[in-house]
Amino acid sequence: MMPESIKQNKGRTTLQHLSEPWRCWKASIPGKVPPLPIRIENRIVRYVKAKADWWTSTAHYNRERIRRGATQAYDNPHEALSRINRHLLTQRAFQECVIESMDLYSHLIPVYNVEPLEKIADAYLDQYSWHEADKRRLLPAWINAADSEPPPLLVYKWCHGINNLQDIWDTNEGECNVLLESHFKKIYENIDLTLFNRLLRLIVDHNIADHMTAKNNIVLNYKDMNHVN
């Protein structure tokens, strides 16, 4: 076994040999590593080529996002909000969602490529829905929009909400309090969209309710196959 100190030195030297050709490639200047065995030099060349392909594809992807208006909201927030409102009120046919798989050798992770404007509209709609639910006190206090709230505060809200219920501790006629816990899975997949639309219309505008239920019928694209959700 190689001693730990020597292993760290070798690792640092290896990283230096890998980073120097990469910096030369980005600067468009010829980079020649010190005299090394042919096999190691070929591996360095393969590393630089693979990283260059990744860097080029990422640059093209970001330029395409900018061209399609992904960062427009930072420059014109009022115009971007107007586009989002128009999108929510009128959009009923959504662009297809492309699915790719990230191979980690042990398992696959699905990666979804969604239109940037639809991402922004969905994020806006999500925040608006939680705002309306909080303003109307539609959901209990222990249901939170994020997991960033510390558990002790959630427990305090939960106890405070139960304690403020009318006649919650009244047991004159033999009543008792029962705490039930359950896990719900795939609720949205099994819900009837017509009923869901009617329920949404009770709390949000009918245009927004139609947008939320129509979002279920999006086209999923994987390689040369299409599937309507």
Residue 41 burial by Cβ neighbours in a 10 Å radius (0-12, 13-18, 19+): middle
221 phi/psi in degrees, rounded to 5: -120, 125
What are the CA-CA distances from residue 8 to residues 15, 17, 31, 41 (Å)? 11, 14, 25, 21
With H, G, I as helix, E, B as strand and everything else as coil, classify residue 220. Answer: strand
Note the residue count of the chain.
229
Of the candidates 78, 115, 86, the one whose C-alpha atom is nearest the C-alpha of residue 208 is: 86
pLDDT of the chain, 229 residues: tens digit per residue: 556 665 566 666 677 677 778 888 888 887 766 677 777 778 888 888 888 898 888 888 888 877 776 665 556 667 777 777 777 777 777 778 888 888 888 888 988 888 877 888 888 888 888 787 778 777 765 565 555 667 777 778 778 878 888 888 888 888 888 777 777 777 777 888 888 889 888 888 888 888 888 877 788 888 778 887 6
Sketch the domain layout of the chain as residue ranges: 1-52, 95-137+189-229
- pTM for this predicted structure: 0.49
